[in-house]
Chain A
Amino acid sequence: MKLGVRWKSREAAAVALEEPISSLYKELREWKSVEGLLVHSSVILSIDFAKAQILNRACFGKPIYCATSPQDSVPTTATRAPRLLEVNAELEDVRMFQLGLEEAFFLTSELECICICRQIPEGRVVLSKEEVWRCMQASKPEFGQLYIAYAHLRAKQWVVRSGIQYGADFMAYRHHPALVHSDYAVIVMVEGHEERMKTWTEMQAMNRLCGSVAKTLLLIHFIPKREGIDLSSPLCQGDFVVEAVEVRRWLPEKSREESDASVKPVLNFAIS
């Protein structure tokens, strides 16, 4: 068991240790280029149950509740209601999954298990990584910096989800949220362009919010290595140094008998 990990139960810990995130990544890498359709701010996958289960366990995306049916059996007469699509038809084992931009880019770029395409009048065309990056950057201006933080944490096998409900950029979990309490609320800070955490009031507000839901605030700083970094290419990831800083409130009146050394944070400074 890792220090500082808060499992929800012994059973949860056992499940997680039996199927670590690294093993799920390994299974994902074995996929043979599943196609994902880019629809501006999401990527949609059409996959079978087994793949949907892996995505769910590794905490990528969410399933879409939708109707599936064998479309080929539809009669060609437009005016008649196609009664062939009735109760007797077996449901196809097709699940629609919706991925966020960061999730999709990580799956295509790091795990290389999906390829992202776009619908054009002539059909579907597969996009290169650079094209995908540019499209994603165009639909979400902060995509580049959010992705670098996302990939940084995911590469260390953290499960990363949206943090908007807690006023953060991301939530980071040591494993699936069903098994473990989230450790961190993550805020991304780009050196020189910080938009948040500029006052003690805001720092305290965020800390308070995190505390009330039992999470720790984690600031991920991006320090550019040089001037004029071009965010329109995925290669810009190498142009930043990443530093992670935990922020906790220390209460002197409650710490007289115990030193800080007894509380070991999982992530203190991580520099890449």
Chain B
Amino acid sequence: MRRADVDYGSDGSGASELSDDDSYDYGGVDDTRLRFRKDLSVAQWDAERGIAEVVVKKGKAWIVTGFTRGSRHAIFIEEAVFMVEQGSLLLREGERVVDLLEAYSLVSTPSYGCSWNNYQVYSYLKKLGYIVGRHNVPWTVSKKRPPMPADEVESITSQFAAVKTSEGTQETNTACSQLVDSKSAPGFEVNTELQGSESSSEMKLMYDVHLPNARFKKSNPGLPAFSLCTTSSRPPHRLQVRALALSLEGRPLKFANICQVTAKNKEGCG
């Protein structure tokens, strides 16, 4: 049966895009189960602080995961959930084990600084080998590095302006207090609060992403390849793009949109 629409290919333009229909598989469900690793790491979830403190560290994943403060190592909820999903971490809350379903609901709770969409982005990039950390949270704090002068902290604070598209008002984003708190407090006083709800029109820089790098060092990570902002259901307004770009002082910025992923996304062990 001839269809009029196939004629678009005849002028040689626009016919190169292949349909994704061929990537589906009918009937057989791939075995999507991964085995837990032999040597499991263990972390203790602290709901009050919104982080998990690493108790047992096994494997090389820790080189690119979590942040250290002195001798202590902690991870954010998305890092914990990813490792549980991959079978390399046992996440506990007190004596009981936090199962994967519960971990998924924790990661989508705004008060821990992440969201389901942000987790999808984090997980997707991690599986591809990127090194992903929360925006502006130092991987480690070195005693050798001089403390930041107060006015420099102030200028960083003012750069993190979130712009609301509807009202055109400006509001200081207190996510930058992470930077201040992590240097001053002896423990893990990291502000994990995600400001506003996920459906808000405000956009925040969520992750700093480094390219895959076998020689990555937390003590000297270098500048991230780009910083990432996840978007709501709408593309960013130009004012939002400008505000975020200014806060990065010219460093690359990317926006992520989460769509329903097709069945062809085959993910391997990270």
Contact = CB atoms under 8 A, between A and B. Distances in A.
Interface residues of B, number: 73
B184 interface: no
Contact of A164 (B30, B34, B198, B259): B259
B64 to A, nearest CB: 19
Contacts of A182: 19, 21
Interface of B: 1-9, 14-21, 24-30, 32-36, 38-42, 44, 55-56, 58, 84-88, 90, 92, 95, 97, 99-102, 104-108, 115-117, 198-199, 233, 257-263, 265-268
Contacts of B4: 248-251, 254-255, 263
> Chain A binding site: helix, strand, loop or mixed by DSSP?
loop
B29 A79 contact: no
B97 A208 contact: no
Interface in A134-192: 138-142, 161-162, 164-165, 173, 176-179, 181-182
B33, B107, B266 — which one has the most chain A CB atoms within 10 A of its CB? B33
Given A63-B32, A67-B85, 13 more contacts: A41-B116, A62-B261, A66-B34, A66-B86, A78-B42, A85-B40, A161-B260, A164-B260, A165-B262, A212-B16, A248-B4, A258-B2, A263-B3
Nearest to B19: A213
A216 interface: yes
Contact of B7 (A142, A210, A251, A258): A251
Interface in A1-54: 4, 12, 15, 37, 39-42, 44, 46, 49, 52-53
Contact of B29 (A40, A87, A95, A119): A95
A165 B20 contact: yes
A64 B20 CA distance: 19
Contact of B55 (A63, A79, A100): A79
A71 interface: yes
A144 B35 CA distance: 39
B116 A42 contact: yes
A15 B42 contact: no
10 contacts: A37-B104, A39-B105, A39-B108, A78-B95, A164-B259, A177-B20, A177-B24, A214-B19, A215-B19, A248-B5
B4, B106, B117, B263 — which one has the most chain A CB atoms within 10 A of its CB? B4
A237 to B, nearest CB: 21
> Chain B binding site: helix, strand, loop or mixed by DSSP?
loop
Given A164-B259, A176-B26, A213-B19, A66 B33 contact: yes
Contacts of A200: none
Q: How large is the interface on A (under 10, 10 to 19, 20 to 34, 35 or more residues)?
A: 35 or more
A138 B199 contact: yes
A176 B2 contact: no
Nearest to A216: B5
B198 A40 contact: yes
Q: Which 4 A-B pairs have the closest CB atoms?
A: A67-B87, A119-B105, A211-B8, A178-B26
B127 to A, nearest CB: 9
A81 B56 contact: yes
A49 B217 CA distance: 41
Interface string A108-147: 0000000000110000000000000000001111100000
Contacts of A65: 32-34, 85, 266-268
Contacts of B85: 64-67
Given A42-B116, A213-B19, A214-B19, A57 B33 contact: no
B27, B30, B38, B56 — which one has the most chain A CB atoms within 10 A of its CB? B27
B78 to A, nearest CB: 13
Contacts of A46: 101
A6 B95 CA distance: 57
